[in-house]
Amino acid sequence: MASRAALWMVPLLLLSLWGPSAPALLLRRLGEHIRQSQESSDPGLGQGPSRADVPRLGWLQQPLDPFNASDSRSFMQRYWVNDQHWAGQDGPVFLHLGGEGSLGPGSVMAGHPAALASAWGALVISLEHRFYGLSVPVGGLDVAQLRYLSSRHALADVASARGALSRLLHVSPSSPWICFGGSYAGSLAAWARLKMPHLVFAAVASSAPVLARLDFSAYDDVVSRSLSRAAIGGSPECRAATSAAFAEVERRLRAGGTARAALRAELGACGSLGRAEDQAELLGALQALVGGAVQYDGQAGAPLGVRQLCGLLLRDRDNHSRSTPYGGLRRAVQVFLRGLGQRCLSSSRAKSVAQLRSTEPQVSGVGDRQWLYQTCTEFGFYVTCKAPKCPFSQMPTLPYQLDLCEQVFGLSATSVSKAVAQTNSYYGGQTPGATQVLFVNGDTDPWHVLSVTRALGPSEPTLLIPNASHCLDMAPERPSDSPSLRLARQSIFQQVQTWLKQAKGNHTS
């Protein structure tokens, strides 16, 4: 029993999407930490029939280059199966797609697919994304290998896996397959329906940024608005305090000498702050801390939400004490690092570059090098602070972040820009044209601005959940869930029900 309990600690993949510099590494670890926490505490994992063989682990042999029939190279792709509710060969299949990290057994035991499976006797399968987790091809992560890492390769894996798993698990040809995914994997779910409607009957895409964006300054626009939103514990005063705290950090960095040394100690920075690039790393990490409080607001396992962050930034302001916004930011850093079990706040550009240049797969399965490659060759997603109301520093700049693609992979800023444009051309951006895809977003989540939030037609529905954060609809249910979140989950249930009735009608007609 101890070994099975340990399985639930494997993270369910819903990581942050930011391209990896120090701020992004921090956000990705925050996302992983939250998933671990939610999965290990989900009461739903203990429900249902007692089955010692659920979930089951399996491996598929997949072609490394699915677009070249003469290339015989292959890799082993991990998948998980939960058949405890399966009604048999004619039952529907709920396929949970993995994204930019490791995929554990909780991917078939928690979240939408598992929660909905019992109602319709569905078979639940999850598929780990190539080059992440344990689905890394032999040969490491050098650039020659990473040529086979892209969303298009991942979709080819979905097509191949659908055929192989249908045969292996004896799924009827008439069984409808519905894809589920969150974050980047949510985009994959939508694109699977777009590009393979003959294989994927429908899809639920949660917090899916289907629009690639080189300069994602809109991320901080949403963060700024959310810090002012009273419904989640924000206020205009909180946003102003955030701005004041960052201004004080920049003032002390410019002052140098003892002021900079004290700043380093007070904020728990790992490295020296003498170089401009290291100062940008620190400012980016602080920005990610605040952005993470918004992106994962209200989620179990998050060290800080908006209400807690604002409480720290505004502490004692009515008592005329000496507490300052900067002091509140210091306390927020301490809470954040304690929550993630980290010793200090990364502030070394050279260390970030060295980590990202390593071609050895990471044991943690976080996949930082792989995700940076995908941002450089497909998506961008580089967060910048440009708007007049942006409460952060203007560092790190877009050129500073694009330089990481050059330093790590030898890819120019021009090539990255072209790749982003090609991605939007291939998938259609925010007007993908895929029918029977439900896009689910929260309006607190900074990523919702790159998703589809308005229905594009009767068969292209959307849900925008008030005051909900990134992929919150996929998190295990809690007594504290808002009425709007509960209503959204009911709407997802009803939409899946409509699709399955439609599938049954198509089969019998």
Quick one: how far is CA 345 from the chain centroid?
21
Tokens at 255, concatenated: 């002052």
Residue 445 bears catalytic tag: yes
Which parts of 27-73 are beta strand (E)? 56-63
CA–CA distance, 500 with 117 (Å, rounded to integer): 12
The set of residues, in sequence order, having a beta carbon less than 8 Å from that of 47 and lying 6+ positions away, is none
What radius of gyration do the chain's Cα atoms show? 22
Residue 3 bears catalytic tag: no
CA–CA distance, 21 with 359 (Å, rounded to integer): 16
Q: In what order do the strands lie in the sheet with 56-63?
A: 56-63, 74-82, 123-127, 93-97, 177-182, 202-206, 437-442, 462-465
Residue 470 bears catalytic tag: yes
CB 80 within 8 A of CB 103: yes
Say which of 112, 448, 470, 481 is annotated catalytic. Answer: 470
Number of helices (H), then strands (E), in the chain = 17, 10
Sign of CA dihedral 81, 83, 87, 89: positive
What are residue 442's DSSP bridge partners? 465
Tokens at 33, concatenated: 């930490």
Alpha helices per DSSP H over 43-150: 111-120, 143-146
Say which of 445, 448, 469, 481 is annotated catalytic. Answer: 445
Which parts of 65-129 are beta strand (E)? 74-82, 93-97, 123-127
The set of residues, in sequence order, having a beta carbon less than 8 Å from that of 222 and lying 6+ positions away, is 294, 444, 445, 446, 448, 449
Q: Give the closest residue to 29 by CA, choosing from 354, 343, 271.
A: 343
Say which of 102, 135, 183, 187 is annotated catalytic. Answer: 183
The DSSP H or E segment spanning 132 is none
Strands 123-127 and 202-206: unpaired
Residue type, 157: D
Catalytic residue numbers read 183, 445, 470
